[in-house]
Homo-oligomer: A and B are copies of this chain.
Amino acid sequence: MADERWLDEDEQNAWRSYLRMRRTLETHLARHLQREFGLSESDFEILVNLSESPTGRMRAFELGEATQWEKSRMSHHLSRMEKRGLIRKEACDARYPEIVLTEQGLEAIRACAPIHAARVRDLFVDVLGPDRLAVLGEASDDVVDAIDEHQKTSCPPEVRGYC
């Protein structure tokens, strides 16, 4: 009905393959995490970051840098995680609360991380093999750089990310 083609056929196919893979892999991993461990991918990301910190405690701000989330998403999500007992906010440094991994949160991440990683290996790392994996890694970095570049050069200064 709209008969223009917007990418050539090979490009179109590759792009759509990529989109399909992205969706399929993401939903599969998310569902697995959810059903086996009751964690969302977001929970997982926070827990990984906290558990990799030597002290198990970070400022929300640092988590924001590590994950690249918006601050409001972070705030909302940390509140929900606190309610479930995975983390705790401690108002130790006068002003800003620190986010602390609870015993329960630590157990959760220890239980699910190796299994989750095994799945990533089975369905992604091993399927690609080392060569293609390396190519993809570099390509990913290039794309991220290109987007950063694009933002810097062609965006009006204060309007982040919309253009």
Please tell me if the beta carbons of A1 and B143 are within 8 angstroms of each other in the complex: no
Please tell me if the beta carbons of A143 and B127 are within 8 angstroms of each other in the complex: yes
The interface residues of chain B lying within 8 Å CB-to-CB of A35 are 162-163
Q: Within 8 Å of chain B (Cβ to Cβ): is A40?
A: no
- Among B28, B133, B141, contact of A161 (Cβ-Cβ < 8 Å): B28
Please tell me if the beta carbons of B143 and A21 are within 8 angstroms of each other in the complex: yes
The interface residues of chain B lying within 8 Å CB-to-CB of A53 are 1
Task: Name the interface residues of A1-39: CB closer than 8 Å to any CB of B.
Answer: 1-2, 4, 6-7, 10-11, 13-15, 17-18, 20-28, 31-32, 35
The interface residues of chain B lying within 8 Å CB-to-CB of A114 are 4, 6
Please tell me if the beta carbons of B135 and A135 are within 8 angstroms of each other in the complex: yes
The interface residues of chain B lying within 8 Å CB-to-CB of A141 are 17, 21
Q: How far is the CB of A24 from chain B (nearest CB, A)?
A: 5
Task: Name the interface residues of A114-142: CB closer than 8 Å to any CB of B.
Answer: 114, 116-118, 120-125, 127-128, 130, 132-142
Q: Within 8 Å of chain B (Cβ to Cβ): is A46?
A: no
A–B pairs, 6, beta carbons within 8 Å: A2-B106, A2-B109, A6-B114, A7-B120, A23-B68, A123-B146
